[in-house]
């Protein structure tokens, strides 16, 4: 028997310790040429799950199929916890991994619908979402954390679209307002502030190369000056391209509304390594001295605070409701 989580007339009964087939969400493959709001071709794909009851303490619901990342398409854990003097069941989304048929968003509504049919009202997850980015050869990490980029682009993260809110793991305080306030501060950094430090660093390198001058920095900060030069040149080259393309935007961080992970990812990400977004070799340096003038990375304290908060929150959905069977933006 194939279970359909969107068929409310069907009992949604999971069988433990054996494979179960569950129908995935509707996938729109094409739209009506005359009206893009009308789906023309819709397909649904069967997904095979293993469902394991671990000593009645937790239930693991995971797909047999794996996504493009090598991880399982969907992996859920359901546990019983005590809340307000009652024992309730809560879900934890361990993993969502897109494949050639379903996007991460498709699989998220699928996971939430499964939890809804199991009468689970609350679930949590840790944000490890990422983009695949074609980059400058110096910066080798192609998996780019999505959370800060999505916030800069739309003032939301991937998960906040699905009714998840960020709660500090220790204080249990909702951090969404603070996160958005920090993003707002970053969006006030001017083009001149970033241009001054990035171009001055490039001029310092030119001066060093021309006159064989050494940089006077603590060896713990810059162990390999040649590598630092590659690092700064990569930032500068990316910045010049970015500035040329997007300087009509009021501010550099405000230009992230034009970010497109499939077409212009490296234009945004490589210069952002000034803030050690993914590259950590020189992240201890926040104050530079170029050509006898001091420069501080603009609002580096705010950027670091935002990263720290996002790395120390758990995203919670406390009101899982009936999901649409199709994810369309």
Give the tokens for residue 232: 């700064």
Give the tokens for residue 179: 């996160």
Residue with tokens 């040329």: 244
The reported pLDDT for the residue numbered 318 is 93
Q: Is the pLDDT of residue 104 over 50?
A: yes
DSSP assigned state of 217: -
Q: Is the pLDDT of residue 214 over 80?
A: no
Query: How far apart, in whole angstroms, are the C-alpha atoms of residue 162 and residue 320?
Result: 9
Give the tokens for residue 116: 């809804």
The reported pLDDT for the residue numbered 220 is 45
What is the average pLDDT score of the chain?
Answer: 88
The percentage of residues in the chain with a pLDDT greater than 70, rounded to a whole number, is 91
The reported pLDDT for the residue numbered 253 is 96
Query: How far apart, in whole angstroms, are the C-alpha atoms of residue 298 and residue 312?
Result: 23
The reported pLDDT for the residue numbered 9 is 95
pLDDT tens digits, one per residue of 130-149: 888 888 778 877 888 888 99
The reported pLDDT for the residue numbered 258 is 95
- 3-class secondary structure per residue, 250-303: CCCHHHHHHCCCCCCHHHHHHHHHHHCCCCCCCCCCCEEEECCEEEECCCHHHH
Nearest to 148 by CA among 193, 120, 186, 110: 186
> Per-residue pLDDT averaged across 288-312, rounded?
92
The reported pLDDT for the residue numbered 36 is 60
pLDDT tens digits, one per residue of 166-191: 999 999 999 999 999 999 999 999 99
Q: Is the pLDDT of residue 114 over 80?
A: yes
Q: Is the pLDDT of residue 284 over 80?
A: no
Structural domain boundaries in the chain: 1-125, 128-317
pTM over 0.85: yes
pLDDT: which is higher, 82 or 219: 82
176 φ, ψ (degrees, to nearest 5): -65, -45
Query: How far apart, in whole angstroms, are the C-alpha atoms of residue 269 and residue 260?
Result: 11
Q: Is the pLDDT of residue 223 over 90?
A: no
Give the tokens for residue 37: 């709001």
Q: Is the pLDDT of residue 221 over 70?
A: no
Query: How far apart, in whole angstroms, are the C-alpha atoms of residue 57 and residue 72?
Result: 22
> Per-residue pLDDT averaged across 253-265, rounded?
91
pLDDT tens digits, one per residue of 35-62: 666 656 678 999 999 999 887 779 999 9
pLDDT tier, 295 (very low <50, low <70, confident <90, very high otherwise):
very high
Characterize the bridge pairing of strands 122-125 and 313-317.
antiparallel
The reported pLDDT for the residue numbered 94 is 95
The reported pLDDT for the residue numbered 34 is 63
The reported pLDDT for the residue numbered 30 is 66
């Amino acid at each position: 028997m194939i279970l359909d989580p969107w068929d409310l007339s069907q009992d949604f009964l999971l069988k433990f310790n054996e494979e179960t087939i569950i129908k995935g969400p509707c996938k729109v493959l094409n739209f009506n040429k005359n009206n893009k709001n009308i789906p023309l071709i819709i397909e649904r794909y069967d997904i095979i799950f293993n469902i394991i009851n671990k000593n009645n303490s937790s239930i693991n619901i995971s797909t047999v199929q794996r996504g493009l990342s090598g991880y399982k398409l969907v992996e859920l854990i359901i546990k019983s916890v005590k809340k307000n003097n009652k024992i309730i069941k809560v879900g934890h989304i361990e993993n969502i991994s897109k494949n050639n048929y379903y996007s991460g968003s498709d699989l998220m509504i699928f996971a939430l619908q499964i939890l809804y049919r199991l009468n689970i009202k609350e679930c949590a997850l840790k944000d490890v979402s990422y983009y695949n980015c074609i980059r400058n050869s110096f910066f080798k990490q192609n998996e780019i954390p999505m959370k800060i980029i999505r916030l800069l682009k739309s003032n939301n993260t991937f998960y906040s679209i699905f009714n998840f809110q960020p709660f500090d793991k220790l204080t249990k305080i909702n951090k969404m307002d603070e996160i958005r306030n920090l993003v707002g501060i970053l969006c006030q950094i001017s083009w001149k502030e970033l241009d001054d430090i990035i171009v001055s660093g490039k001029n310092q390198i030119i001066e060093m190369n021309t006159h064989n001058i050494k940089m006077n920095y603590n060896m713990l900060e810059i162990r390999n000056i040649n590598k630092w030069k590659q690092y700064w040149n990569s930032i500068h080259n990316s910045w010049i391209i970015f500035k040329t393309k997007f300087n009509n935007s009021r501010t550099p961080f405000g230009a992230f509304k034009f970010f497109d992970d499939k077409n212009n990812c490296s234009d945004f990400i490589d210069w952002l390594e000034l803030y050690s977004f993914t590259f950590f070799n020189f992240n201890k340096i926040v104050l530079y001295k170029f050509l006898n003038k001091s420069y501080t990375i603009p609002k580096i304290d705010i950027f670091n605070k935002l990263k720290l908060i996002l790395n120390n929150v758990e995203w919670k959905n406390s009101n899982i409701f009936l999901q649409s069977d199709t994810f369309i933006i």
